Amino acid sequence: MSEFVGGTGSDEPSKERMMAFAQGMNPPENEIPAPVVMSALLARTDGIAVALIGAYVYTCGLTFDLAIRLRHESRGTMAHKSYAMLSAFSGREDTDGQFLLGLEYADGRTVTNFEHPGFRGIPADDDPEKPSLSQRGGDGGGRSFNHSYWLTPLPPAGPLIVVCAWPAFDIPESRTVVDAAAIAEAGSRAVVLWPPSPPEDDEPFEPPAPRLPDGGWFARFNRTGQGGDGSHG
The string of pLDDT tens digits covering residues 35-61 is: 999 999 999 999 999 999 989 999 999
Contact 20, 128 (CB under 8 A): yes
**Alpha helix segments (H runs only) across 68-216:** 78-84, 181-186
| pLDDT for the residue numbered 180 | 96
**Alpha helix segments (H runs only) across 36-167:** 78-84
Question: Among 45, 41, 103, 34, which Cα is nearest to 66's?
Answer: 41
- What residues contact residue 229 under an 8 Å CB cut-off, 6+ apart? 220
User: Which of residues 219 and 97 earns the better pLDDT score?
Assistant: 97
Query: Which of 18-32, 66-80, 89-103, 126-140 bottoms out in mean pLDDT, i.e. has the lowest?
Result: 89-103
SS3 176: strand
Q: Which amino acid is at 165?
A: A
Q: What domains, with CATH codes, occur in the chain?
A: 4-192 (2.60.40.1640)
Residue 78 has pLDDT above 90, yes or no: no
Q: Quick one: CA dihedral 134, 136, 140, 141, positive or negative? A: positive
Q: Mean pLDDT across the chain, nearest whole number?
A: 77
Cα separation, 186 vs 99, whole angstroms:
29
Cα separation, 34 vs 183, whole angstroms:
9
The pLDDT confidence band at residue 4, using thresholds 50, 70 and 90, is very low
User: Which of residues 167 and 192 earns the better pLDDT score?
Assistant: 192
Residue 72 has pLDDT above 80, yes or no: yes
With residue 41 as reference, give the H or E element that holds it.
strand 40-44
pTM value is 0.71
The string of pLDDT tens digits covering residues 133-172 is: 988 877 767 788 888 999 999 999 999 999 999 888 889 8
Cα separation, 108 vs 105, whole angstroms:
5
Angle in degrees, CA 135, 140, 141, rounded to 5: 125
Cα separation, 209 vs 64, whole angstroms:
36
Q: What is the mean pLDDT of residues 185-195?
A: 95
Cα separation, 68 vs 101, whole angstroms:
13
| pLDDT for the residue numbered 133 | 92
